[in-house]
Amino acid sequence: MGQDFMQNTQFNRRTFLGGAAAGIFAAASSPGAEIPRPMARFPEKMDLILLTDRAPQLETPLRYFQQDFTPNDAFYVRWHLSVIPTSVDLRTFRLSVGGHVDQPLSLSMDDLRAKFEPMEIVAVNQCSGNGRSYFEPRMPGGQWQYGAMGNARWKGVRLKDLLDKAGVRAGAVDVSFNGLDGPPLPSVNDFVKSLDIDHARDGETLVAYEMNGKELPMLNGFPLRLVVPGWYATYWVKALNEIKVLPEKFDGFWMTKAYKIPNNALGSETPEALATDLIPINRCALHSIFVRPEPGEIIRTGGSYAMEGLAMDGGVGIRRVEVSSDAGKNWKDAKLDADLGKYSWRRWRFDWTAGERGTYRFLVRATNAAGESQVEKHWNHSGYMRTQVEHVDVTVA
Amino acid sequence: MRKRIAIAGLSALLLGSAIRAADSQVHSIVLPQDEPKLPEGPGRKEFVAQCRTCHSSRYVTSQPAFTRKAWEAEVTKMMKTYGAPVPAAQVSSIVDYLVTLNGKSK
């Protein structure tokens, strides 16, 4: 069925290209709407929204967010380089911990499970570019709607425990993380990320061997993934097999050139005045979205409609979520679901009695425990850290 | 209906665990080949030769339509920032094809 759908979409795409050439779609402006979003089924996955196939980038459909934890087989997928691991032999797989340490380690999966205390944490894993397709003006990059994230219970060993076992030497500055993926050409930089030594030793950063009580799917980083609670997923290195302690600042491409944001609180700039002072992206921004209704949904007049959605931030914790049914003139509190931890997303619900027939614009905004609230407009040229107040337009009929 | 789903789910579960149990030490997947067909057009040959070495052509077709200037900037970024060794003489043909594939006038 997925195959048929894809062929249909390809056909539509050709039709669209013909239309674009004739100028028919030149004025189309609804964000994201004009781009085909076929479904595809990859190994260990349900049908997900196909952004790209090589390297794989697969988005989670919104309906999977009507539960606390995102199922592993519905969890989004995002690789950078096209040479990705498709087979891992646990008899030979080893995680190395080396560099500026007293005693370099080479650990099997059995070592990790048997010799280190397990730790669990609930945390949202969110792509830096989640929601990119909603920015105006548009920018190149993965055209994600809101499905480049997921909430999971991660289980593994504390990075701190690994570093302590290896014995970090005095003068350590950064720790770098490399996985089994690799560049398709020697001139392309391998995907390696870093954290500063204090962050790496904070006791909350994990090397995870399970998500939601099961092994990680291959496409989500089997057998090990770095879990950096509260930080964007670019740091959550997949198929992690090399940890290196450095006595100097890490200067790899994926820290110094890619994943940079304007050096201000929200990572914002304008198309007219692009920022020149850039820093590596880091903690997740405060954000809230609608899960139900979905854009363009038709709601029956007179009935009660159970809206729901998600709110999250970089680890302060969500205190309040408000919904407006009149494009922002009036706001009412949504009900918050149970708090699953400060790095989890917080689900919210709002029961709305559908009014008269017509079109409605709903808005949602969140406030965190530090009293921070969402801004109305936010933009940067990479489409990172989406944080602005979101809307959904529905028709009551 | 519900019963049938439950049975299907159970057999899928049994099948899955059987595969895993038989070879629990080696974990493998096979990635699907799923690239879109590319229409004919000037620059297609250069695009196929230079761009698809590293990534699927969906990296183009899954984008919004961009102006020629924006596509030029993308090719430059691929070369200068990401390290794609594209011969300078082929750049303008590649941009021609990108504009054909997913361009807009302004």
- What are the pLDDT digits (tens) for A96-131? 999 999 999 999 999 999 999 999 999 999 999 999
Instruction: Identify the bridge partners of residue A246 per DSSP, sorted by sequence position.
Output: A174
Q: Mind telling me how many Å the CA of B79 is from chain A's nearest CA?
A: 10
Amino acid at A67: Q
- What are the pLDDT digits (tens) for A347-375? 999 999 998 999 999 999 999 999 999 99
Selecting from B29, B58, B83 the residue whose C-beta is nearest the C-beta of A189 gives B83
Selecting from A23, A87, A184 the residue whose C-beta is nearest the C-beta of B28 gives A87
- d(Cα B6, Cα B2) in Å, to the nearest integer? 6
User: B62 vs A20: CB contact, 8 Å cut-off?
Assistant: no
Q: What is the pLDDT of residue B23?
A: 59
Do residues A79 and A227 make contact, with C-beta atoms less than 8 angstroms apart? no
Q: Which stretch of A174-178, A247-251, A300-304, B49-53 has the lowest confidence by average pLDDT?
A: A300-304
- What are the pLDDT digits (tens) for B37-85? 999 999 999 999 999 999 999 999 999 999 999 999 999 999 999 999 9
Chain B hits for A36, Cβ within 8 Å? 61-62
Chain A hits for B35, Cβ within 8 Å? 53-54
Q: Mind telling me how many Å the CA of B44 is from chain A's nearest CA?
A: 16
Selecting from A53, A87, A90 the residue whose C-beta is nearest the C-beta of B58 gives A53
**Length of chain A in residues, anyone?**
397
- What are the pLDDT digits (tens) for A125-179? 999 999 999 999 999 999 999 999 999 999 999 999 999 999 999 999 999 999 9
- What are the pLDDT digits (tens) for B76-99? 999 999 999 999 999 999 999 999
Kindly report the pTM of this predicted structure. 0.89
User: A17 vs B37: CB contact, 8 Å cut-off?
Assistant: no
- d(Cα B70, Cα B48) in Å, to the nearest integer? 20
Q: How many beta-carbon pairs under 8 angstroms link A with B?
A: 121
Which alpha helices (H) appear in A125-180, and where do they start and end? 159-166
User: A188 vs B39: CB contact, 8 Å cut-off?
Assistant: no
Q: What is the pLDDT of residue A8?
A: 34
Residue B106: pLDDT band with limits 50, 70, 90: confident
Buried residues in A354-365 as b, exposed as e (16+ CB within 10 A): beeeeebebbbb
Q: What is the pLDDT of residue B2?
A: 42
User: A56 vs B58: CB contact, 8 Å cut-off?
Assistant: no
Selecting from B56, B70, B85 the residue whose C-beta is nearest the C-beta of A52 gives B56
User: What ipTM was reported for this prediction?
Assistant: 0.86
Instruction: Identify the bridge partners of residue A351 per DSSP, sorted by sequence position.
Output: A306
